[in-house]
Amino acid sequence: MCPTDYENDELIFMDEEDQEQEQNEAASGTWNVLVVDDDEEIHSVTRLALSDLVLNGKSLTFHHAYSGAEALEFLTERGHEIAVLLLDVVMESDDAGLQVAKKMRDELHLEEPRIILRTGQPGYAPEESVIKEYDINDYKTKTELTRSKLVTTIIASLRSYQQILTINQSRKGLEKIIGSAANLLEEHSVKGFCEGVVEQISSLIGLDAGGVLCARAGSVLDKEEDGVYVLGAAGDFASYINERLESIHNDKIVMQVTQCLQKKEHIFGDDYSVLYMDSSGYEAAVFIQAGNDISEVDRQLLEVFLSSVSVGYENVNLFHQLRNAAFRDWLTKLPNRNEFINMLDDLNRTDNDFDADIIALIDINHFSDINDGLGQEAGNKLLIAVSERLQNQFDERVMMARIGADVFGLIGADADIAPDKIDAIFNVPFKAGDHTLPVNITIGLTRLLESASGINVLKQTNIALNRAKKSLTCNYEYYAPEMEEKTTWRLGMIRQLRSDFADRRLEVWFQPQIDLMTEEVVGMEALLRWPNREGGYISPAVFVPLAEYSGLIIDIGEWVLEESCLKLKQLQDLGHDKLRVAVNISMPQFRDPLFVANVKNTVKDTGIPAANLELEITESLVMDEPQIVVEALKDLKSSGIQIAIDDFGTGFSSMSYLQQLPLDRLKVDRAFVNEIEPGKQAFIAETIVTLGQKLGLKTIAEGVEKKEQAAYMLKLGCDEAQGYMYAKPMPFDELITFLSEYKP
Ligand code: C2E
Ligand code: MG
Ligand code: MG
């Protein structure tokens, strides 16, 4: 048989892949054979016999050694290149060949080259154990080795060498996969994971990472809309991470990745490959800028790699979703409060180059009215519209979050985040479903100083925001440390007030109200008093706002009302049956859904005529939330209770509301009464009285301290007065005495 016959034989057993591989390897083509023999003739005979042999496209290259020592010397240098050793057993010593085999396996750790032992005499055949131990492929006596037998033996050995080589390569590859997959499993971010995949693939197939790109269908994570996004990449593609695939402007890649995701299978082209990855619906495609030149072994490795990391890919996606739940707002998909705090904390990291001078909290005024009035759905749509508007108006230099139900947070540079800029964004009404809603906002801002913790900055901005909400002139406020001192003080006061109220230390005093014409006492205003530890009193002007702020006013107000009605009842029982009592009411009380019913019940339970109870509300309160107040007042009024507007003239009343309200009395604010001086005209007081008369309302002058003020108000046509000139507020006992001694 000639060598070509052998080749044909081989071809019969080769499948197509082998053929491909054969062609691939043709270029790198030679099998290195080391002939070790002390007989020069054997060398030339061997060369001659095998010179025409070509296996898998590769011919043989011969290397020669004439002793065991020489062979070892060669092997030490170039052993890893050798495919087959034709090794004589007896050379400088009886077992020189065996020594070479032993040393080469044990000491030089050359495991892959195949060994064919040859010996002159059958008597020198090695033990079977030696053949096993040194991994010797074949043992032949020299006479046995005819040319054709030599060819057969060599081919068998070369094939076995090739297999061992492949297996070892795969093993190394698998070791790498196991290592890299383990690395990747520790990665918790999708981006980090996918970049890891790109890197590992490059190292597995020895490719420049710049040619690898990992993309996935968009519906899975942050991005709601469908589309394919770049998840991981290196080199030129790196800048496209998190961008849509189309943005890389490479039609070929876009098409092939899309196709791979559609067909859900790997695609191998001439100069590219796209590998498909899927675990429980978490899909991704890995584009590799290398095609048929990726060897079969590498291809198989890639597939093993991808199937082993796709579980990791699923995990990292699930993890991401969990994280989303914890750090994303479900409605707007913006970061939530937790994440906002993290973002603020991250600003302190030295490697952060985000330009941030300022943070802002934007609160939507009266959002609860929209929710209550138009329904939650409309409320949600409005919030989404606001979040979209904010994202459109600010670029990536501004970070944003939804901090609370109707509060959005911004972090950015001075140039971007200024109250007038934010106001301008909210100037145009928002579309929420079928509604077009104008939105008013309040803004709290804090300048960022180094090393303030996120939670603290947020707290400070909240303080500024609350400040801004209280301001009548301005819808924004910058945080200042004094505010915080005040806050600490306020919190202390609120705590004290709560416990003193619980301990029944609060008192209700009464200030008489006089008919200007007859000078008879017609009623009294109930005024809260909070005794301090020094025997004095904390002014209601100070603590009532705190009680309002903390919501305590609801309970306190209820108690004042009850107390006032009870005391009025006592006075009636004493014969003062014409008197009325005026009770001040705050906004939070109106917001309490039980308020109207409570007032009516108190009137009923205490047994006073409803007409003898008057509720005082301030103008600004009406202006604040007109819908709520107007409804409640109409209800109360219909049960006979009287309504007065307190501090009239200070709250920028709108005439249209004034006409809608079911009023009985206007209280001219003390400031305007105070303006009254002999010989001068008090314009505002006059206007208010005239207005009251036009609207058919009674008027009462507050804070009358001097006779001329009373006389002037009487001349204007004002009906009643209240002030130090007649009596200061006093405890109930003193009021009884006052009433019994009072003479007009
Ligand atoms: P207001 O309702 O306008 O009460 C009238 C205030 O003017 C009272 O101050 C009264 O003591 C004071 N005043 C009366 N006559 C004169 C006068 O001739 N000269 C001067 N300089 N002041 C006079 P007060 O008692 O300190 O109450 C302050 C504010 O606290 C009240 O203003 C009212 O807005 C609020 N307030 C008092 N009690 C309650 C309450 O039970 N509930 C609520 N929500 N607010 C209350
Ligand atoms: Mg009042
Ligand atoms: Mg008043």
Q: What are the sequence ranges of the domains in the chain?
A: 3-167, 183-327, 337-479, 494-668
Å from CA of 572 to ligand 1 middle: 24
Q: What is the bridge-based pairing of β-strands 282-288 and 273-279?
A: antiparallel
Buried b (16+ CB within 10 A) or exposed e, 202-219: bebbebebebbbbbbbbe
**Cβ within 8 Å of residue 140, ≥6 positions away:** 116, 117, 118, 149, 153
Cβ contact 644:666 at 8 Å = yes
Q: Which of the ligands is closest to the CA of residue 669?
A: 3
Check residue 275 and give its pLDDT.
86
Query: Residue 652 carries which DSSP code?
Result: -
187 pLDDT tier (thresholds 50, 70, 90): low
Ligand number, closest to the Cα atom of 588: 1
Query: What is this structure's pTM?
Result: 0.49
Q: How many angstroms separate the alpha carbon of residue 488 from the centre of ligand 3? A: 29
pLDDT of residue 14: 36
Beta pairing, strands 82-88 & 212-217: unpaired
Q: Looking at ligand 1, which atom is closest to the CA of residue 725?
A: 18
Please write the tens of the pLDDT for every residue from 121-159: 766 667 777 778 888 888 888 777 788 888 988 999 999
Residue nearest to atom 43 of ligand 1 (CA): 584
CATH 3.40.50 fits 183-327, yes or no: no
Please spell the DSSP secondary structure of 677-710, one letter per residue.
-TT---HHHHHHHHHHHHHT-EEEE----SHHHH
For 430-454, the pLDDT digits (tens) are 998 888 999 999 999 999 887 778 8
Mean pLDDT of 277-303: 78
Mean of per-residue pLDDT scores for the chain: 85
Q: Which residues line ligand 1 (CB under 6 A)?
A: 511, 526-528, 539-541, 544, 557, 560, 584-586, 616, 646-647, 670, 702-705, 722-724, 729
Indicate which residue's Cα is closest to atom 37 of ligand 1: 527
Q: Is 337-479 CATH 3.30.1360.200?
A: no
Instruction: Return left, alpha or beta for 451; rule: phi > 0 is left, psi -120 to 50 is alpha, else beta.
Output: left
Alpha helices per DSSP H over 376-472: 376-393, 419-426, 454-470
Q: What is the pLDDT of residues 651-676, one digit of tens each?
A: 655 666 777 889 999 999 999 999 89
More confident residue, 219 or 310: 310
Secondary structure element (H or E) that encloses residue 511, with its range: strand 507-515
Which-ligand-closest: CA of 556?
1
The pLDDT value given to residue 197: 78
Q: What is each CA distance from 32 to 64, 101, 230, 326, 562, in whole angstroms?
A: 11, 17, 46, 62, 109
Specify the residue for token string 């006592």.
Answer: 570
3-state helix, strand, coil in the chain (%, to 5): 50, 20, 30
- pLDDT of residue 84 exceeding 90, the answer is yes
Rounded CA Rg of the chain: 47
Residue 395 CA, ligand 2 centroid: distance in Å: 50
Atom nearest to 669 CA in ligand 1: 3
464: nearest Cα among 448, 452, 480, 450? 480
Calculate how far, in angstroms, residue 635's C-alpha sits from the geometric centre of ligand 2.
21
Instruction: Return the best residue to mutate from 544, 559, 669 for the ligand 1 pocket (most ligand atoms within 8 A of CB).
Output: 544
For 135: left if phi > 0, alpha if psi spans -120 to 50, otherwise beta; the answer is left
pLDDT above 50 for 309:
yes
Nearest-atom number in ligand 1 for the CA of 589 is 44
Among 311-320, 390-399, 409-418, 459-468, which stretch is predicted with the lowest mean pLDDT? Answer: 311-320
Percent of the chain scoring above 90 in pLDDT: 48
- Alpha carbons 487 and 504: distance in angstroms, whole number: 25
Q: What span, in angstroms and rounded, lies between the C-alpha atoms of 50 and 599?
A: 115
- In the prediction, which pLDDT does 4 show? 36
Return residues with CB closer than 5 A to ligand 2 (ion). 584, 616, 646
526 neighbors 584 (Cβ within 8 angstroms)? yes
Question: Tokens in use for 395?
Answer: 């670029």
Q: Are 360 and 465 in contact (CB under 8 A)?
A: no
Q: How far does the centroid of ligand 3 lie from the alpha carbon of residue 601, in Å?
A: 26
Q: What does residue 532 show for φ and ψ, rounded to 5 degrees?
A: -95, 180
pLDDT at 698: 96
pLDDT tens for residues 546-599?
999 889 999 999 999 999 999 999 999 999 999 999 999 998 999 899 999 999
| Furthest C-alpha separation in the chain | 152
What pLDDT does 580 receive?
Answer: 97
Q: What is the whole-number distance in angstroms between the Cα of residue 581 and the centre of ligand 2?
A: 11
Residues 685-720: pLDDT tens digits?
Answer: 998 999 899 889 999 999 999 999 999 999 999 999
DSSP class of residue 256?
Answer: H
pLDDT for the residue numbered 210: 66
Report residue 222 as tokens: 């942050």
* Interatomic CA distance for residues 131 and 636, integer angstroms: 111
685 contacts 668 by C-beta, under 8 angstroms: yes
Cα–Cα nearest to 285, from 228, 348, 210: 228
**Once rounded to an integer, what is the mean pLDDT over residues 397-421?**
93
Q: 47, 35 in Cβ contact below 8 A? A: yes
Q: Which secondary structure element, helix H or strand E, spans residue 408, and what is its range? A: strand 407-412
Amino acid letter, 192? G
- What dotted CATH number matches 3-167? 3.40.50.2300
CA distance 160 to 85: 13
283 C-alpha to ligand 3 centroid (Å): 69
Q: Determine the Cα–Cα distance for residues 286 and 284; give it in Å rounded to an integer.
A: 7
Q: Going by CA atoms, what residue is nearest to atom 16 of ligand 1?
A: 703
> d(Cα 374, Cα 740) in Å, to the nearest integer?
55
Question: 227 C-alpha vs ligand 2 centroid, how far in Å?
Answer: 63
Distance 539 CA to ligand 1 centre (A): 9
CA 17 to chain centre: 50
pLDDT at residue 244 is higher than 70: yes
At residue 608, the pLDDT reads 97
Helix (H) or strand (E) holding 471: none
State how far the Cα of 267 lies from the Cα of 270, in Å rounded to an integer.
Answer: 10
Q: Token digits for 536?
A: 């004095």
CA distance 61 to 47: 9
- Picking from 162-171, 174-183, 484-493, which range would have the lowest pLDDT averaged per residue? 174-183
CA distances for 645 relative to 248, 345, 614, 617, angstroms:
67, 49, 10, 5
Nearest CA-CA partner of 246 in 236, 257, 238: 257
Using alpha carbons only, give the angle 410, 321, 358 rounded to the nearest 5 degrees: 10
DSSP lists the bridge partners of residue 441 as: 364
The atom number, within ligand 1, closest to the CA of 616 reads: 2
CA–CA distance, 634 with 672 (Å, rounded to integer): 29
- Token pair, residue 630, equals 């107007």
Alpha carbons 744 and 725: distance in angstroms, whole number: 13
Residues, the chain, total? 744
Task: Give phi and psi for 527, each to the nearest 5.
Answer: -130, 130
Residue 521 contacts residue 736 (beta carbons within 8 Å): no
Burial 62-88 (b: 16+ CB within 10 A, else e): ebbbbbbebbbebbeeebeebbbbbbb
Instruction: For ligand 1, pick from 497, 513, 525, 527 the residue to mutate: most ligand atoms within 8 Å of CB.
Output: 527
| Distance, C-alpha 714 to centroid of its chain | 65
H runs (alpha helix) in 125-231: 128-133, 147-185, 190-205
State the residue for tokens 């090393």.
451
Rounded to whole angstroms, the Cα distance separating 506 from 502 reads 9
Count the Cβ atoms, other than its own, within 10 Å of residue 576. 17
Give mean pLDDT, residues 248-274.
Answer: 87
Q: What is the pLDDT of residues 518-542, one digit of tens each?
A: 999 999 999 999 999 999 999 999 9
- Residue pair 323/338 in contact (Cβ under 8 Å)? The answer is no
- Summarize pLDDT for 8-27 with one digit per residue, the tens: 333 333 333 444 444 333 33
**Domain 494-668's class?**
alpha beta
